[in-house]
Amino acid sequence: MTGSRSSGILLHPTSFPSMWGIGDLGAPATAFIDFLVAAGQQIWQVMPLGPTGYGDSPYQSFSAFAGNTNLISPDRLLTEGLLTPEDLADAPVFGSGNVDYGAVIPFKQELLRRSFARFRAGASNTQHLALETFRSANAAWLNDYALFAALKDANGGAPWNTWDPALAFREPAAIATITTTLADEVLFHSYAQWLFFQQWLELKAYANRQGVRIVGDAPIFVAYDSADVWGNRAIFELDEAGDPTAVAGVPPDYFSATGQLWGNPLYRWDALEQRGYDWWIARFQAIFTLVDILRLDHFRGFAGYWSVPAGEVTAINGQWLPGPGATLFEAVERVLGTLPIIAEDLGVITPDVDALRLQFGFPGMKVLHFAFGGGADQPYLPHNYDTRTVVYTGTHDNDTTRGWWEQASSEIREHVQLYLGRDGHDISWDLIRLAFASVAETAIVPLQDVLALGSEARMNTPGVAGGNWGWRYTPDMLTDAIAERLRLLTQLYGRLPQNDEAGDATE
């Protein structure tokens, strides 16, 4: 973070409007960046950009390094000659509402295969060289990921631990043979990654030229069924059969009598330390190629994490174990320099977590939805903030502000009305104003709140398996009037870029 006051919008690329059933990295993405600039915003925050697995969640990815190829823009491939109008002629007619992943994913993947066929038949020497340069530069993760993806396809999408044991356990002779057998499929998945990185980095460059920085997101843990675990079993707590011996979660608390059992495999931090945290250094290096700032999810797990024996059906019978602490971040900073990280430190945070965050100067997070209904010492109330803070009205896991307000208790409503001196009829913008007015260095607002939408626009409901991650807006929603209203608040509370024109700061 820069130390100056700034603000921005949280929006995942899947939420862009598109005729292809899911948001992508084409014209609506650049139009959104133009909207940010018109609204005086300096930050665009996204969720993890990796290929999604179970439940279509960006927080359960097949790779901590690869990109989500469903975000590739068909329109851009058409412009570049990597698709033709005929390739798109039989496309389904998708509605403008929520993403139907069951229909979208096979459609997008078929388009990518058509594009790959056209590339192999007629790509220029420059294009072939660009692909080979990408493969060479990213071989450390791409070779494993492309083979993993090819093997998943060949095994009907089954998890890696159910494959032929010689392949599941990466016996060298078996891997060499299958790499040759599936060479075309491996090349296809490498090609798709090249397209994603090409389109994303061009979009990032456009945003950066407009003065917009991108905040990315990285879960601390990775999915068991991922190229990361398949290719790096030695750094995870697995037994000889490749099964987790312990899994991640959080203990019982006020919100859940049984805790949360996430099920992700845990790291062997001792093994990672002996290796100089090489995997984590590579992971951070890859992420900071794609984004300017990183929100590090479940930061408290780096100080201490909840370990649950594999096979438990709840998180009750776990134990706290020490995380890597400062040694990890010191190792990463020796290679990459100072890390522009936001520490996701929500929930019950112990002094060791605060000490670790403060040691490296990482700003923490505050969420206004959590602020009300208690006393004046509630840490999420803005009068208790440190400046080194990122404040949100809500996050991807919260209801929209309007939805939250409509379901809030009378106690919370009365506290909000008293604290803000407003009746709540315009609650979304009331909380935007409160976030922007706070001393927090950075204020970030989900686009749903800027649009004052209700629970129908909620992105995710934790603990609910289906129906998440699908919300999209329509192009008519991003009006000049909304951009101007947001810009005026941004200026009023000193969050406009310093080189922006002054203008009138009344609302």
Instruction: Say whether 397 is catalytic.
Output: yes
Q: Which of 75, 354, 397, 500 is labelled catalytic? A: 397
C-alpha distances out from residue 414 to 351, 367, 423, Å: 32, 18, 9
3-class DSSP state of 191: helix
Angle at 331 between CA 330 and CA 337, to 5 degrees: 70
- Residue 218 CA to residue 45 CA, distance in Å, equals 12
Amino acid found at 304: G
Q: Which of 217, 228, 237, 344 is labelled catalytic? A: 344
How is 56-123 classified by DSSP, letter by letter? Answer: G-TTSBS-SSS--GGG--HHHHHHTTSS-HHHHTT-----SSS--HHHHHHHHHHHHHHHHHHHHHH-
Long-range contacts of the stretch 88-92 (C-beta < 8 A, 24+): 91/20, 92/21
Instruction: Say whether 253 is catalytic.
Output: no
Long-range contacts of the stretch 490-497 (C-beta < 8 A, 24+): 490/7, 490/39, 490/40, 490/41, 490/436, 491/40, 492/436, 493/5, 493/436, 493/437, 494/5, 495/5, 495/6, 495/7, 495/40, 495/42, 495/436, 495/443, 496/40, 497/6, 497/40, 497/42, 497/211
Q: What single DSSP character describes residue 382?
A: G
Task: Write down how long the chain is.
Answer: 507
| Phi-psi region at 282: left, alpha or beta (left = phi > 0; alpha = psi -120 to 50) | alpha
Other C-beta atoms closer than 10 Å to the C-beta of 257 total 9
- Residue 36 CA to residue 44 CA, distance in Å, equals 8
Instruction: Say which residues have a Cβ less than 8 Å from residue 203's Cβ, sequence separation at least 6.
Output: 25, 29, 30, 33
- Please identify which residue in the block is written with the tokens 């970030």: 444
End-to-end CA distance of the chain: 28
Radius of gyration of the chain (CA): 23
Beta bridge mates, 342: 295
Q: Which of 225, 297, 345, 399 is labelled catalytic? A: 297
- Residue 401 CA to residue 420 CA, distance in Å, equals 15
- Residue 449 CA to residue 504 CA, distance in Å, equals 23
Active site amino acids: 297, 344, 397
